[in-house]
Amino acid sequence: MCELEGADAEAVVFRDEDWAAELVRGYDVPGWFILRARRHAERITGLGPAELASFGPRARDLIAAVTEVTGAPTTYLMSFGENYAHFHALVAARGEDVPARLRAGNILQLRGDRADYGAAAALVPAVRAAYERLAAAAGIG
């Protein structure tokens, strides 16, 4: 997760002092983005007061932007932290076409079948624009 600071600009929804939201290879299902702390912090318990205070608004606005752009009936926010010790959360749009057996935590099974970096990257500009509008309306620069 720390290595994502060098991610291509085309993959970045936003970056501010504390947080970044990006398309990440391996999780490149259209409508999926990683929201991560920019400094190395392990688990949510490793975040400082400013990071904790800003996490909610960043997550809210990213989820709203992804939902708006994808039209998904549900957008998940998941954080496990077992494979990558750096605090991050997966924002994953879930379409109507996802069968009930692949909903909730089981949605991660779609990583193999629905990964498409090109299609996922094509959504970034629209998600970025929606995020910027929503964040500005909420008073987040």
3-state DSSP of 97-112: CCCHHHCHHHHHHHHH
Burial 61-78 (b: 16+ CB within 10 A, else e): bbbbbbbbbbebeebbee
Handedness of CA 108, 81, 37, 11 (dihedral sign): negative
Q: Residue 85 has what DSSP assignment?
A: -
Q: Are 37 and 125 within 8 A, CB to CB?
A: no
CATH architecture classification, 2-135: 2-Layer Sandwich (3.30)
Confidence of residue 141 (pLDDT cuts 50, 70, 90): low
Q: Are 87 and 37 within 8 A, CB to CB?
A: yes
- For 90-131, the pLDDT digits (tens) are 999 999 999 999 999 999 999 999 999 999 999 999 999 999
Three-state secondary structure call for residue 14: strand
Residue 81, pLDDT > 90, answer no
Confidence of residue 1 (pLDDT cuts 50, 70, 90): very low
Distance of CA 108 to the CA centre of its chain: 14
Domain boundaries, the chain: 2-135
Predicted pLDDT at 80: 85
- For 30-60, the pLDDT digits (tens) are 999 999 999 989 889 999 999 999 999 999 9
- Per the prediction, the chain carries an average pLDDT of 92
Predicted pLDDT at 76: 98
